[in-house]
């Protein structure tokens, strides 16, 4: 497969997943604003801080108001990771490979783009944006489903899947990190109603509440963190995503499991092993935020290694 084609397929899939997860990410805060007592409602600033792009925000927006943060994360055309920019970038990449992807994939992505553009022109209060975020989330799920059901499971599909899984792992870690930046209550509230609402909102944002309930009867921080980090079967857990990305990369390279020929395979192998044998008690002792920060850096290195190997054309 040409590097140009592989890159377009990969980034189309990754940016759709990014848009979906930004919608989930913001909805954690929005749900808590609606469900929490006024004295415990979270601020919007940590949502920007966890993106790592607070300098851009402060330069272009200044105040961390609900309207500014919503505009920044959802509709800023100049910010490359906003929902609008992500969907537009995904659509442009897909447009260049329309002869490779399925018609249904293109139609689903084009419909998502038109919906987001239309929403960006409306003046909707931030606290009334839940329906928009839900539509973006469902569109991302539909795109993944259409990809799995209409694209031959050959090299193209594995690039789509690998991209989706790496992006999902990264964003699941950031959604979990929101709990510590945005949702962490006062020590007096730990284990109380406010804390329970926060963890429930977190699981809902990852579409994981019902699956969590099948394993655990009580919402408990260590169990929630372990479920989203280390569960082998939940499709949005980081361990599941990293394992799936590793499987697709081996299918692309043809390298047998347990060995590697490219740096991305080595990095994914090391991370997979860490997650397979990880224990949530050790992670919490180390510090959840510190662990998630390390995890995000590792996923960034994996993404860079994939791009360097498959998409960058040397002179």
| Contact criterion met (CB below 8 Å) for 271 and 298 | yes
Residue 18 lies in a domain: yes
Q: How far apart are CA 70 and CA 64, in angstroms?
A: 10
Half-sphere exposure at residue 195, Cβ-oriented, CA atoms within 13 angstroms = 16
Distances (CA, A) of 193 to 36, 186, 190, 201: 9, 12, 8, 12
Residue 315 lies in a domain: no
Residue 299 lies in a domain: yes
Q: Across residues 282-289, what is the average pLDDT?
A: 89
Rounded to 10 degrees, the C-alpha dihedral 193/194/196/199 comes to 170
Q: How confident is the model at residue 312 (pLDDT cuts 50, 70, 90)?
A: confident
Q: How far apart are CA 155 and CA 143, in angstroms?
A: 18
Q: How far apart are CA 114 and CA 227, in angstroms?
A: 35
Query: What does residue 151 show for φ and ψ, rounded to 5 degrees?
Result: -105, 130
Domain extent at residue 297: 3-310
Q: How far apart are CA 119 and CA 70, in angstroms?
A: 12
pTM value? 0.90
Range 31-35, long-range pairs (CB < 8 A, 24+ positions): 31/130, 31/201, 31/204, 31/205, 32/182, 32/183, 32/197, 32/198, 32/201, 33/127, 34/127, 34/130, 35/197, 35/201
More confident residue, 45 or 104: 104
Q: How far apart are CA 170 and CA 18, in angstroms?
A: 9
Give the tens place of pLDDT for each residue, 208-238.
Answer: 999 999 999 888 888 999 999 999 999 999 9
Residue 184 has pLDDT above 90, yes or no: no
Question: Which positions ≥6 away from 257 have C-beta within 8 Å?
Answer: 250
Residue 193 has pLDDT above 60, yes or no: no
Q: What is the largest CA-CA distance in the chain?
A: 61
At 286 the pLDDT is: 86
| Contact criterion met (CB below 8 Å) for 135 and 74 | no
Residue 74 exposed, middle or buried by CB count within 10 Å (0-12, 13-18, 19+): buried
A 10 A CB-CB count for 274 gives 14
Paired tokens of 268: 């994914």
Residue 101 lies in a domain: yes
Pick from 43-57, 172-186, 220-234 the range whose average pLDDT is largest: 220-234
Q: How confident is the model at residue 191 (pLDDT cuts 50, 70, 90)?
A: very low
Residue 256 has pLDDT above 60, yes or no: yes
The dihedral built from the CA positions of residue 108, 109, 113 and 114, taken in this order, carries a sign that is negative
Residue 191 lies in a domain: yes
Distances (CA, A) of 136 to 77, 81, 123: 16, 14, 17
A 10 A CB-CB count for 314 gives 5
Residue 158 lies in a domain: yes
How many domains does one find in the chain?
1
Question: Which positions ≥6 away from 277 have C-beta within 8 Å?
Answer: none
Residue 63 lies in a domain: yes
Q: How confident is the model at residue 192 (pLDDT cuts 50, 70, 90)?
A: very low
């Amino acid at each position: 497969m040409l590097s140009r084609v592989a890159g377009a397929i990969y980034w189309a899939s990754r940016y759709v997943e990014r848009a979906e997860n930004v919608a989930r990410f913001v909805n954690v805060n929005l749900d808590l604003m609606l469900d929490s007592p006024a004295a415990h409602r979270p601020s919007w600033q940590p949502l920007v801080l966890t993106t790592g792009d607070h300098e851009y925000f402060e330069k272009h927006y200044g105040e961390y108001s609900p309207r500014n943060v919503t505009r920044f994360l959802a509709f800023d055309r100049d910010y490359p990771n906003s929902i609008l920019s992500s969907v537009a970038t995904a659509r442009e990449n897909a447009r260049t490979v329309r002869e490779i992807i399925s018609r249904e994939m293109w139609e689903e992505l084009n419909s998502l783009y038109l919906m987001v553009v239309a929403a960006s022109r409306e003046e909707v209060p931030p606290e009334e944006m839940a329906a928009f975020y839900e539509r973006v989330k469902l569109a991302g799920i539909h795109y993944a489903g259409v990809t799995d059901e209409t694209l031959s499971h050959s090299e193209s599909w594995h690039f789509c899947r690998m991209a989706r899984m790496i992006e999902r792992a990264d964003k699941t870690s950031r959604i979990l990190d929101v709990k510590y930046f945005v949702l962490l209550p006062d020590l007096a509230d730990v284990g109380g109603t406010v804390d329970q609402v926060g963890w429930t909102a977190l699981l809902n944002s990852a579409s994981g509440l019902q699956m969590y309930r099948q394993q655990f009867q009580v919402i408990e921080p260590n169990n929630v963190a372990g479920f989203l980090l280390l569960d082998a079967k939940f499709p949005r857990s980081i361990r599941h995503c990293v394992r799936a990305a590793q499987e697709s990369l081996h299918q692309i390279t043809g390298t047998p499991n347990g060995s590697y020929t490219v740096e991305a395979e080595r990095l994914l192998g090391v991370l997979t092993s860490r997650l397979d044998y990880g224990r949530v008690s050790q992670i919490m002792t180390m510090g959840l935020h510190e662990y998630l920060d390390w995890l995000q850096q590792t996923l960034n290195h994996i993404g860079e290694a994939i791009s360097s190997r498959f998409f960058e054309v040397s002179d």
